[in-house]
Structure 1
Amino acid sequence: MTPDQFAQALMGEGFEPAVTIAREPGGRLDEHTHPFEARALILAGEIGIASAGAERVYRAGDVFHLLAETPHTEWYGAEGVRYLVGRRDPAQS
């Protein structure tokens, strides 16, 4: 799936317009939540996400999906990560 196709699919599902996020190499965010649902397409690098006792690493071409208020930690690979993400208010789901 291309970034344009991903962004169009998000819009069709009621997500806000997608934005590109870049995170620094070797960075980390401790456990936190978001007040929105998020779906992201990894464009470059890698991101690890741990939630509910499970952890997974996502790389270019992978998609991750987090529901609103899901506690999670995240960390970024040696090259950082760049991803295209759409957000959706949980009331819109």
Structure 2
Amino acid sequence: MTEDEFRTELAARGYGEPRSFVFPPDADGEFHSHEFSAMVMVTEGEFRLGFEDEIRVFEAGEWCEVPAGTVHLEQAGPIGATILAGTK
């Protein structure tokens, strides 16, 4: 998916304008949840979402949704990660 396609999909699903986040190499976050849903696209590097029973790996051009209240952690691969995230 391209960045333009991602922005179009965000709008179609009712998400707000995306913000960019940069994760340093091998970033390792804590388990947490949000009061909002997020739709995320990786623009550079490798982004990992960890759940209680699995870790999903996303590379540039791939995207996912994380519903509000989902317990997860955010990690980056060895070169870090840059993502775009829209919320609702």
TM-score of the two chains, using structure 1 as the length reference = 0.87
Deviation at 1:72, TM superposition (A): 0.7
Aligned-partner SS, 1:71: coil
Q: Matched residues in 2 for 1:34 and 1:54: separation? A: 19
After superposition, residues 22-61 of structure 1 pair within 5 angstroms as 22-61=22-61
Q: Which consecutive residues of structure 2, in runs of 5 or more, have no partner in the other structure?
A: none
Aligned-partner SS, 2:29: strand
Q: What is the letter of the counterpart of residue 57 of structure 1?
A: V
Greater share of residues in strand: 1
Residue 2 of structure 2 is matched in structure 1 by 2
Residue 15 of structure 1 is matched in structure 2 by 15
| Alignment RMSD (CA, Å) | 1.1
Q: Matched residues in 2 for 1:15 and 1:53: separation? A: 27
Q: Matched residues in 1 for 2:37 and 2:48: separation? A: 18
- The C-alpha deviation readout for 1:26-52, integer Å capped at 9, x for no partner, is 111110011110111111101111114
Deviation at 1:13, TM superposition (A): 1.5
Residue 78 of structure 2 is matched in structure 1 by 78
Deviation at 1:81, TM superposition (A): 0.3
TM-score of the two chains, using structure 2 as the length reference = 0.91
Q: What is the letter of the counterpart of residue 53 of structure 2?
A: G
Q: What is the letter of the counterpart of residue 31 of structure 1?
A: F
Determine what percentage of the aligned residue pairs are the same residue.
28
Q: Which consecutive residues of structure 1, in runs of 5 or more, have no partner in the other structure?
A: 89-93
